[in-house]
Amino acid sequence: MGTPTRRDLLTMIGATAGSAAMYQAMTALGHAAPSTFSGPVSLEGDPGGASVLVLGAGVAGMTAALELRDAGYNVKILEYREKAGGRCWTLRGGDRYEELGGAVQNVGFAEGNYINPGPWRLPHDHHAVLHYCKRFGVQLEPFIEKNHNAYLHNTEAFGGKPQRYREVASDYRGHISELLAKSLKAGNLNDQVTAEDREVLLESLRNVGALNENYEYRSSLKTSRFRGYDRDPGAGVDGAPLPSTPLDPSQILNSNLWRRFAITEEMEFQTPMFQPVGGMDMIAQAFAREVGDLITYNARVTSLLQEDGQVRVVYEDTAAGNAQRTETADYCVCTIPFSILGQIEHNLSADLSKAIDNMYYLGSAKWGLEFKRRFWEQDEDIYGGISYTNLPIELISYPSTGFFSDGPAVVLGGYSWSPEETYEFNAMSPKERVRWAVEFGSQIHPQYKDEYKSGVSVVWHKVPWVLGCFGIWRDKDTDYQKAIKLDNRVICAGEHLSYRGAWLEGGILSGLNAIQTLHERVIQA
C-alpha cells in the first residue's frame, strides 16, 4: 500500500470528522473556496449618458441593469415573459403554465402552498445572492438539506423497503471504522501511521464509529444512540430502551445506498442552507421592485445586430398580437440562454457564435405534489430534508416550512436528471407525469395515493424561455474565455457564463463581471 494521496487524506478526514473539517482541509489545500463576491460593485467614472439594452430579466439581467443605472447609464430591459425572474420561478395556486407544445397546467394548490421549478435552495457561502437578499429585505429561513430520519431507497435492496438515512449512515460508518481499527491493530498500516498517531486514530474510530472496547460494531445501546432504538428510552416499567440491530455490512455495500452520503458533504450542500420565505421568486420580485420601471415584458427578441456604432434589437410584442418593435442602444448585455440565442438572428463574432452553438442544455423533470395532510410528519416524523431513491423520480424533498400545521402541503415529488428518464417524461402529458410521480412515490410512502390532492410538473426542455435546465459546455477550456469577452458592443451573461452554473449565484456573478468589463470599455472610450 503506497503513501496516501491528498485525495485519500481528504476522504479520510471527511469520513471520520465530517463535512466541516473536510471543507476546512480542502480550503487549506486550495481545492475549495466560497463565492468570489466581496461586496457591492463599484463602477467608477462617468459613462457620459451611454445607453445599455439588457436582454432578459432574470437575476443576471436585473443585477446588471440595477448596477448600471446606479452608475449613471441609461438602461432598458426586454423580457420574454410576463414577469421577471427567468428560472428563479415559483408556481402557486391560481397560476397557469403553458409548456412548449401547448399543454396547459392550472395550479390548484391551496393558498400559501407552492413549488419552485428551478432554484430551490441557497448555500450559505453564496455571498452575492445573500447580499442582494439582505439589501432588498428578502426574508430567508433555513432549508433542511440533510435529514437523518428521511429515507434511502433502492428497489433492489432490502426487499425494496426504504431504510432510514440514520440507520444506513450509522452502520456504514460503524462497519468501516471497525475494519480500519482491525487493520491498525494488526499492524497493516504501521509504515504509514506512527505509534502515537495509531493510538489516537484507534480512539477516534471507537468514538466516531460507536465501537465497543474490542473495536467491534455490534448491537448495543451505544450504537443505538446513533442508528436509533428498537424501543426508545421512556419512563415506567417498560421505560428502559432496547437496542436495535445493525444492518449487515455486505447488504449496505451492495445496496449502493452509500452513494448518497457524499451529496451533503459537497461544499454547496453543506449546512446551513436557506430559502426565501414564501417561495424562491421572492428574490425575483425584490429585484423587479428595484428595476421594474426599466422592464418591457412580453418582448420576444427575434434579432440582435450590431451596426452603425450601436446595437439594434428587434422584438415581437406578444401582448399586442406579435407586433414588431425595435430598440437601439450603445451597448447590450445579453442574458438570453444560449439555447435560445442560437435560434435568433445575430451578427456576433465567429468565436462567440461557435461558443453559443457548442453549448447544450441539460434537461430535468420536477414535480410539485400537494397532499391533504403532512403524513410524512404525522406518521413518520420527517420534518424537512430529502429522501433518495433509484426510481425515476430520484428524490422526494419535504417542505422546510409550516411544520406541525394542519391541512394540505406540497412536497417536491421528484427531481429527475437522467437523460433517458427525462426524455421519457418529456414525451408524456403533464397529467401522465404526475400520475407516475404518485405511483413511484407510493413505493416509499404508502400514504401517497390516499392523501394525494393535486399536482404540477415541469420538464425543462419544454420550458419555452430556456429549453433546458442549465447550460453545459462541450469545450469549456476554449469556448468559455471567448464567450465572456465583450463582443464589439455586446457582452453575454448568465449562469452558463460562470463557474457556478445552475445556481443563482452564478447568474449574479456573471452579470456583475459583464458590466465591469463593459464599463471599462465605456470609460476608455
Could you tell me the CATH number of the domain that includes residue 189? 1.20.1440.240
Give the DSSP per-residue string, 376-429. HHHTT---S-EEEESSTT-EEE--SSSTT--S-EEEEEEEE--HHHHHHHHTS-
Query: pLDDT tens-digit profile of 397-440?
Result: 999 999 999 999 999 999 999 899 999 999 999 999 999 999 99
On the 0-12 / 13-18 / 19+ scale of CB atoms within 10 A, 314 is middle
Confidence at 98, pLDDT banded by 50, 70, 90: very high
Query: Are 134 and 185 found together in one domain?
Result: no
Q: What global pTM score does this model have?
A: 0.92
Q: Which stretches does DSSP call E strand in 243-341?
A: 273-276, 295-296, 299-307, 310-317, 323-329, 331-334
Considering the domain boundaries, does residue 254 fall inside one?
no
Query: Are 179 and 316 found together in one domain?
Result: no
CA angle 83, 371, 227 (to 5 degrees): 110
Confidence at 111, pLDDT banded by 50, 70, 90: very high
Query: Are 339 and 304 found together in one domain?
Result: yes
Question: In total, how many domains does the chain have?
Answer: 4
pLDDT computed for residue 5 by the predictor: 43
For residue 104, the domain's CATH number is 3.90.660.10
Query: Are 453 and 499 found together in one domain?
Result: no
Question: In whole angstroms, how far apart are CA 268 and each of 41, 78, 108, 383, 419?
Answer: 24, 32, 33, 21, 23
Least confident interval from 4-8, 161-165, 191-195, 427-431: 4-8
State yes or no: pLDDT of 30 exceeds 80: no
pLDDT computed for residue 56 by the predictor: 98
Residue at grid coordinates 420565505? 277
Q: What percent of the chain has pLDDT over 90?
A: 90
pLDDT computed for residue 4 by the predictor: 44
Query: Are 478 and 353 found together in one domain?
Result: yes
Considering the domain boundaries, does residue 121 fall inside one?
yes
Residue at grid coordinates 446606479? 70
Q: Which domain holds residue 337?
A: 51-80+282-359+474-524
CB 414 within 8 A of CB 393: yes
Query: Are 372 and 429 found together in one domain?
Result: yes
Q: What percent of the chain has pLDDT over 70?
A: 94
Q: What is the DSSP letter of 264?
A: G
Considering the domain boundaries, does residue 260 fall inside one?
no
Between CA 125 and CA 55 the distance in angstroms is: 28
Query: Are 354 and 367 found together in one domain?
Result: no
- Read off the pLDDT of each residue in 23-43 and give the average, rounded to a whole number: 61
State yes or no: pLDDT of 288 exceeds 60: yes
Considering the domain boundaries, does residue 513 fall inside one?
yes
Considering the domain boundaries, does residue 40 fall inside one?
no
Query: Are 500 and 486 found together in one domain?
Result: yes
State yes or no: pLDDT of 293 exceeds 80: yes
- 3-state SS, one letter per residue, for 185-248: HCCCCCCCCCHHHHHHHHHHHHHHCCCCCCCCCCCCHHHHHHHCCCECCCCCCCCCCECCCCCC
Least confident interval from 5-14, 415-424, 504-513: 5-14
Query: Are 416 and 351 found together in one domain?
Result: no
Type and span of the H or E element at 151? strand 151-153
Between CA 138 and CA 358 the distance in angstroms is: 37
Query: Are 369 and 353 found together in one domain?
Result: no
Cis peptide before 272 (omega within 30 of 0): yes
Question: In whole angstroms, how far apart are CA 174 and each of 16, 121, 219?
Answer: 10, 31, 11
Query: pLDDT tens-digit profile of 191-236?
Result: 899 999 999 999 999 999 999 999 999 999 999 999 999 999 999 9
Considering the domain boundaries, does residue 118 fall inside one?
yes
- Read off the pLDDT of each residue in 96-102 and give the average, rounded to a whole number: 98
Considering the domain boundaries, does residue 155 fall inside one?
no
State yes or no: pLDDT of 16 exceeds 80: no
Between CA 462 and CA 468 the distance in angstroms is: 7
State yes or no: pLDDT of 322 exceeds 80: yes
Which residues make beta-bridge pairs with 471?
A: 361
pLDDT computed for residue 33 by the predictor: 55
What mean pLDDT, rounded, does the chain reach? 93
State yes or no: pLDDT of 26 exceeds 60: no
Query: pLDDT tens-digit profile of 347-399?
Result: 999 999 999 999 999 999 999 999 999 999 999 999 999 999 999 999 999 99
Query: Are 352 and 488 found together in one domain?
Result: yes
Residue 96 C-alpha from the chain's centroid: 24
CB 427 within 8 A of CB 99: no
Considering the domain boundaries, does residue 259 fall inside one?
no
Of 4, 85, 103, 154, the closest CA to residue 335 belongs to 85
CA angle 404, 139, 498 (to 5 degrees): 115
Query: Are 193 and 111 found together in one domain?
Result: no
CB 327 within 8 A of CB 76: yes
CB 91 within 8 A of CB 114: yes
CB 115 within 8 A of CB 476: no
State yes or no: pLDDT of 12 exceeds 60: no
Confidence at 177, pLDDT banded by 50, 70, 90: very high
The cell for 26 is 480542502
pLDDT computed for residue 85 by the predictor: 98
Domain termination site, one of 461, 488, 508: 461
pLDDT computed for residue 25 by the predictor: 40
Neighbours of 29 (CB within 10 A): 12
For residue 490, the domain's CATH number is 3.50.50.60
Between CA 212 and CA 102 the distance in angstroms is: 63
- Read off the pLDDT of each residue in 49-70 and give the average, rounded to a whole number: 98
- Read off the pLDDT of each residue in 18-30 and give the average, rounded to a whole number: 39
